[in-house]
Amino acid sequence: MTTLNTKILFVLVIVCGFCYGNAQRIRNLGDLALAMEIIDQEYVEKPDRQKLYQAAMKGMIDSLDPYSSYIPIDSLKPFQAVFDQEFGGLGVSLDGPPRREKLTVISALFDSPAYRAGIKPGDVIATIDGVETKFAQVENVSKTLRGKEGTPVKLSLERANLVAPIEVTVVRARIDVESVLGDRRRLNGSWDFHMQADPRIVYMRIELFGEKTSDELKAALAQVRNDCKGLIVDLRENSGGLLNVATEICDMFLDDGEVVSTRGRGDKVDQRYTAKRGTEIDNSVPIAVLINDHSASASEVVAACLQDRRRAIVVGDRSFGKGSVQNVIPLDAGLAAMRLTTAYYYPPSNRLIHRRPNAKPEDVWGVSPDEGCLIKLDEVAFLKAIERFRKRADPGENGMLDAEPLHTTTSDATSDPTLDDDPQLKRAIEVLLEKIGE
């Protein structure tokens, strides 16, 4: 056989293999289209073709992992609004079954429509526009309460010690979601980041990693840069957000070196993030990062990076263990989307963060607190800590007398007796005082 014939045969083999693989894919797609067509023509009742398509997409993507999902047209804007940190709504945080028996208001965002309407933490939402909420899921109710600015929603509220329900009509408005909170809210709505227990220690709670979080944190750190001797970054209950924002936050506390890397199929490194020169606070300032079992994804990126780089002490409970990266891919001309897991992330130590479905407690996953800093909370203690912070965020309940920082407070934890309701935060303060030299 001549050299030319050998080359031709080689090319034909490759082309045939390619065609065979494509034929299998095309056959599968054809079967899917055929099934939809048969259902459309033969099903006993006329189906909605768009619902058939959505069900097929959802079933296919849901079969992958818990974090990949199909985002239909009616859910895309609310999904994006979380990370844009603004939406039309009432400004309430809700909880319900299974943790609470009824749909309950946890907090009303300061100066939000709900706050101005007199909705209080502990109120039970019995009906929304006349529809009972008895069997409603929190996620669905939250979607219902969001909507076009200027539109009203009528709520029936059950309040402790009142016999009759309270009827209120609240007009939706644009809600700007703040993601960096402090120790106590002042009367003017701003935050005092210096801790009441010891003003040398700065407290910053990051609620989510959204588009505005980096700028919020930079602005907050600029306020305290000259009188911050210790910093607490509270990531408890933070389920994550944008990976690039997490890396930017790590960069604020590191001068150089690796932050995190992502690896795709075949364990191939997709991207490696490194810190740039310069920090937002001096490298001599000790940092404590608070986490719990609901701290996930981007929260774990920050906690693991600062722990691995020995820039922070991690306090609290073991994190959730979500070490996967999702890309949002537009579908249906950009009106819908697919959230697809494309990689796993690894902190500088290259340890595994992601918790596999069959993982055991003794396996390596998540971020664990440093030695002597593991503080577990049972359900009762957890709810007390949440309630403590809710009161700190309400200037009507936190004892703040004016808009000035409390920098004259002495270094004495007894000046804030509410710390007994949050032993994890209390331990973080103790760790920093040891570093400062108290």
> Is 322 in the active site?
yes
288 within domain boundaries = yes
**How does DSSP assign 341-399, residue by residue?**
EEEEEE-TT-------TT--TTSS-S-PPPTT-B----HHHHHHHHHHHHHHT-TTTS-
Query: What is the distance between the alpha carbons of residues 390 and 372, in angstroms, rounded to a whole number?
Result: 27
pLDDT at 184 over 90: yes
My answer on whether 131 and 246 are in the same domain is no
421 within domain boundaries = yes
> Which is higher by pLDDT, 31 or 2?
31
Number of H helices, E strands in the chain: 10, 20
266 within domain boundaries = yes
Q: Are the beta carbons of 217 and 181 closer than 8 angstroms?
A: no
Cα–Cα distance list, 89 to 130, 142, 208, 211 (Å): 18, 9, 18, 19
Cβ burial of 384 (10 Å; 0-12, 13-18, 19+) is middle
Give the count of beta carbons closer than 10 Å to the beta carbon of residue 139: 11
63 within domain boundaries = no
Query: What is the distance between the alpha carbons of residues 173 and 145, in angstroms, rounded to a whole number?
Result: 11
Taking only the tens place, the pLDDT of each residue in 91-115 is: 988 888 877 888 999 888 888 999 8
Find, among 289, 198, 184, the residue nearest to 236 by Cα.
289
Q: Determine the pLDDT at residue 160.
A: 87
Share of the chain above pLDDT 70, in %: 90
Query: What is the distance between the alpha carbons of residues 216 and 327, in angstroms, rounded to a whole number?
Result: 24
Mean pLDDT, rounded, for 135-161:
90
62 within domain boundaries = no
pLDDT at 19 over 70: no
Q: Which two tokens stand for residue 251?
A: 């960069």
Mean pLDDT, rounded, for 173-185:
92
- Split into its structural domains, the chain has a count of 2
Mean pLDDT, rounded, for 225-237:
96
Q: Determine the pLDDT at residue 134.
A: 83
Q: Which one from 123, 212, 299, 322 is the annotated catalytic residue?
A: 322
Q: Are the beta carbons of 317 and 292 closer than 8 angstroms?
A: yes
Q: Are the beta carbons of 350 and 272 closer than 8 angstroms?
A: no
My answer on whether 314 and 249 are in the same domain is yes
Q: Determine the pLDDT at residue 166.
A: 92
* CATH, residue 117: 2.30.42.10
Classify each residue of 405-418 as buried b or exposed e, where b means 16 or more C-beta atoms within 10 Å of its C-beta: bbeebeeebeebeb
> Is 308 in the active site?
yes
pTM for the model stands at 0.84
**Taking the mean position of all CA atoms in its chain, how far away is CA 137?**
19
Q: Which one from 297, 299, 324, 368 is the annotated catalytic residue?
A: 297
Mean pLDDT, rounded, for 151-177:
92
Average pLDDT in the chain: 88
Q: Which one from 123, 308, 317, 416 is the annotated catalytic residue?
A: 308
Q: Determine the pLDDT at residue 297.
A: 96
My answer on whether 167 and 294 are in the same domain is no
Of 174, 191, 220, the one marking the end of a domain is: 174
Segments forming the whole domain that contains residue 135? 89-174
Mean pLDDT, rounded, for 354-369:
94
Mean pLDDT, rounded, for 81-87:
82
* CATH, residue 409: 3.90.226.10
My answer on whether 116 and 191 are in the same domain is no
Of 128, 156, 174, the one marking the end of a domain is: 174
Is 289 strand, coil or helix? strand
Of 143, 174, 205, the one marking the end of a domain is: 174
> Is 297 in the active site?
yes
Q: Determine the pLDDT at residue 2.
A: 57
Q: Are the beta carbons of 308 and 300 closer than 8 angstroms?
A: no
